[in-house]
Structure 1
Amino acid sequence: MSDSRVFHALARSGFAVNGLLHILIGGIAIGIAVAGGRGGEADQSGALKQIAATPGGLVVIWAAVVGLVALGLWQVVTAVLVSDPDAKKKWGRRAAELGRAIVYFALGGTALVFALGGSTSSSDSSRTLSARLLETPGGVFLLVAIGLGVTGAGVGFVVIGVRRGFRKRIRVPSGAAGRAVVALGVVGYAAKGVALVAVGILFVVAAVTYDAEQAAGLDGALKALAALPFGIVVLCGVGVGLIAYGLFLGARARLEKL
C-alpha cells in the first residue's frame, strides 16, 4: 500500500487541500482584522462554507474528503513503518504520526459533513466539548490538559518554523524556488504556531473560569487576538502567515518525501 502511486497521489492531494483551507482561513482572518474583530468564521468550517458557496464547490469538497482521509491513512502507514533502534524515539515518532493522522481524519470528517449537504461549526464543537468536560468530575483538569497540549503543539510549530525543521520532510528545490519554499515554511509554521497557542490558552481560560464559552476554537482565538492592544496588526500578520502556510502546503504536496 505504501508503494502505491495512486495512494501517494491521493495523500499529496491532502496537503494541497489543507493548504487551500489555510489560505482561505488566512483571508478570513485578515477580513476580521479589517472589520475590527467582526466577520466570518476563521477556521476550517468557515473555509469550507466559502468553498461550498462557490460554483463547483461540492466537487472540491468531495475531493477534500478523499485527500484528507488518504493523508490520514498515509500517516497511519508511516507510524506503522517507523523504524528506530531507540525504542523511546520510535514510539515517540509513532505517536506524533498518529496524532497527525487524527487531525487529518477530523478535517476529513468535517469536510464530509459539508459534502453531504450539512453544516457544522468548529467553534460550537469546541464549546460543546468544553461544556461536557466541565460537567464531568475531574473534567476541568482534562480541559486544562487539552489546553496545555494544544499550546505545546503551537510552540512546537514555532520551533519547527524557526529551526526550519520542516526541511527534512520535503525535497527542497535549488535556487530561488527553494529559498521561497523555505521562507513560506518559516513564516507559515510560526503563524500556525501562534494561532494554536491562542487556541490552547482559551481552553485553559475556559477551565479556570469554568466558562465553556471561552473555548471558541481557532475562530475564537483569532478574534481574541484582534481584541488585544495592536491586535488588528497582529491578526493581519497571523492571517498573512496562515496564507503563507497554505502556500507552503501547496508546495509540500509536490515536494513531500513519500
Structure 2
Amino acid sequence: MDDDIEANYTSCTERDGDDYFVNMPKGAKKMDSVPTFVDAVAKMDKGGIGWLSAVVRLRADVEEATNHWWSFLCLESKEDFEVIVEERRSEDEIKATITQKVEGVHRNRTFTSIFKKRIYEDGLIIITAEPVVPPPESSLKAHSALGTTQMRFQQVGEKETVMELVKKLEMGQLMSKKATNGFLRKHLSIVTETAFFFVNNLDIEELLPEDGKVFADHLMLRVKGRQERGTSKEEETKAFIKANKAASQLVAKHQFFEPLLCAVLENKLRGISKVEGNAE
C-alpha cells in the first residue's frame, strides 16, 4: 500500500440500508512503528477527528475470528477499554458503551454504538458500529465521542481469515492531533493482539512460514515493554514461550531452544565471530 492513499477514497460516512460504512479520506498515510505483519494507514484532522484502516491476517476460520471480536464487544473489558452492554437486541445486534481510557490532561472518551453482525456468502462476515448521538455532558470523568466502525472478515484458507478494519473517531474540538493519534494506536493494538491470540494457540504442525513474523513481532513487543512491567529480557522471553503453544512444544522437544533464544536477545553471541582458530 502506498504511503499516500489518494484514489477511490472519500472523506465521508455512508449508509447502506440499515448499516453505516466508513471510507478512508484522501491524504491518509502509512503508520510507522507498527508490527510488520499489519498494513495500517491513518489520518488525523483538527477537532479530534481521526481515521484508521488496518488489514491483518488471522490464523483462524472466519466464524472463530468473528466470534472472538463479538465476545470482546459483548463480554470483555480490556486494559484500556471498558465495555458495558446496554441492550441485547438480538444475537447479532447489541447496543454497547465503550469507555476508552486516556493518559494525560484529556478526559476519557465514551463511545455508544449500535453493533451489528451480518453473515454473507463465500465466507464473508461484517461487523459494523453505528454511533449513537450522545446526550448533554453529564460526567466529569468521561467525554462523549462518536465512533463509526466497519470490520470485514473474509475466509481465505483453512484457519486463515483476512480482517479489514476501518474506523472513524470524532472526539471533540479540544483533542489534539497527537492525542488523536494515540487513540487510533490503542484501537490498532486490539487488532495486533487478536493476531497474537490466534497464532499463540496453534500447534507446531499448523504453523506457516509467514507466522514467523507474528512470533517475532510479539516477542519484540514484549521485550520492549519490559521496563513498564519491571521484568528482564529473559523473563519476557520465557513468558512468551509459555504463552505460545507452538514455542512451548518446540522447547519440550528441543530444550536448547529457550536458552538459545534468551542468549540472542541478551546479545551474548556478539563475540562469536572473534573466536580464533584454523580451518583445515
TM-score of the superposed pair, with normalisation by structure 1: 0.28
Q: Between Structure 1 and Structure 2, which shows a larger proportion of helix residues?
A: 1
- Identify, as 1 or 2, the structure richer in strand: 2
TM-score (norm 2): 0.27
Which structure has the higher relative contact order (CA within 8 Å, separation 6+)? Answer: 1
